[in-house]
Amino acid sequence: MNSEEKQDYLKRYKEKKAEGELFWPDAISKDAVVSLAIFVVLICLAVFAGVPSEPPANPSDTAYIPRPEWYFMWAFQLLKYFPGQFEGIAIVGLGLVIVVGLFGLPFFDRGPKRHPRNRPIATVAMILIVAAMAFLSIQGVVTTPVSEAEGKIIGGTKAEQVTAGGELFAEHCADCHGADGEGGEIKDKPGEVTAPLNSDDFLIGHFDDTIFQLISYGQPGEGMQAFGLAYGGALNDQEIRAIITFMRSWAEPEEETPAGNEAVADLAKIENPSFAKDVKPIFDAKCLNCHGKRVKGGYKVDTYDNVMTSGDNAPVIVAGDAANSTLAKMLRGIKTPAGGQMPPGKPLKPAQIDLIERWINQGAQNN
């Protein structure tokens, strides 16, 4: 820069400065407002979305494959290129080079121009660094195997996930939470009960990540062991995810097949329903898993006699009077001393309920 250029520059600098904003208090106050807004957003995220905590470190787990957060992936990958004893040197050395380089940049790159095109050294250096970080990050993700605790992805489609999750639920959870998460008495622990998991209260009230944590960590104070591999349980992350997909399916309407709908519509045409031919098949399909071998509410639907006489609040059927029969009220979702909606959470089709009521009104015979 010759002295003329310098004068010119200083003059323009003065002009700009005169028309500019003050750092204190103008710029600072703007910064303060934006920082406050970001802070509020962070607090809201922490309170309402939460952060699932990571499992504790387990020094005896030799199968553990470390995987840093994505923003450290590049450094993680970089270290893989250095043999063991040089890793320390690489970390300290490279860090030093980068920091010294940043400090030195104003001394290498002394031009007065500010546009990136006029500052080739700085611009190229920055592009190279960003590109290298991106390349290393991708390389790191691709070459780091998935750890055992994460597990293999189960099934491609949601239906496959639901099926796999359902099997796992039946194997690991149903004894305490019921076949369909309806809750009730814990098997082998008379008097101890669980609350329903298939209720809107539970399903709408919990994020997937929260449910994941509840299953993975268990409820140690309340008699449910940990299920996550990380906590010494039997299920990997993907298996727990499949169970959650299955649990979510409780809140979805059942899939309707054309054949199924036709069969249900045909029920309306049956004027004098038979217990054996028309009513029993509905009980078998919709009630038996909770009112057969498992006896919820003391009620069994396996035989005609049990249908008529069993139950903690027996009789639940008043022959000839569906309107006063506990069972019919429960099918309609009316609260009774014996309980509410049957089956819990998933009402029968109106045509099925009408048919059972017709059968009761005609005398609830064993026909």
Which residues make up the interface to ligand HEC (CB under 6 A)?
A: 172-173, 175-178, 180, 182, 184, 186, 194-195, 197, 202, 211, 214-215, 219, 222-224, 227, 243, 286-287, 289-291, 296-299, 311-314, 316, 326-327, 330, 338-340, 342-344, 348
One-character DSSP codes across 158-181 = HHHHHHHHHHHHHHHTHHHH-TTS
- Answer yes or no: are the C-beta atoms of 345 and 353 closer than 8 Å: no
Closer residue to ligand HEC (CB): 243 or 322: 243
Closer residue to ligand HEC (CB): 76 or 217: 217
As measured in angstroms, the least distance from the Cβ of 214 to ligand HEC is: 4
- Show the tokens assigned to 73: 């992936």
Closer residue to ligand HEC (CB): 26 or 209: 209
Q: Which residues are CB-contacts of 46 (< 8 A; sequence separation ≥ 6)? A: none
Closer residue to ligand HEC (CB): 166 or 297: 297
Q: How far apart are CA 239 and CA 245, in angstroms?
A: 10
Backbone torsions φ then ψ of 11, nearest 5 degrees: -65, -50
Closer residue to ligand HEC (CB): 140 or 297: 297
- Answer yes or no: are the C-beta atoms of 292 and 302 closer than 8 Å: yes
As measured in angstroms, the least distance from the Cβ of 312 to ligand HEC is: 4
As measured in angstroms, the least distance from the Cβ of 57 to ligand HEC is: 24
Reduced to 3 states, what is the DSSP secondary structure of residue 295?
Answer: strand
As measured in angstroms, the least distance from the Cβ of 58 to ligand HEC is: 20
Residue 301, burial from CB neighbour count under 10 angstroms (0-12, 13-18, 19+): buried
Closer residue to ligand HEC (CB): 140 or 344: 344
Which amino acid is located at 332 in the chain?
Answer: R
As measured in angstroms, the least distance from the Cβ of 294 to ligand HEC is: 8
As measured in angstroms, the least distance from the Cβ of 121 to ligand HEC is: 58
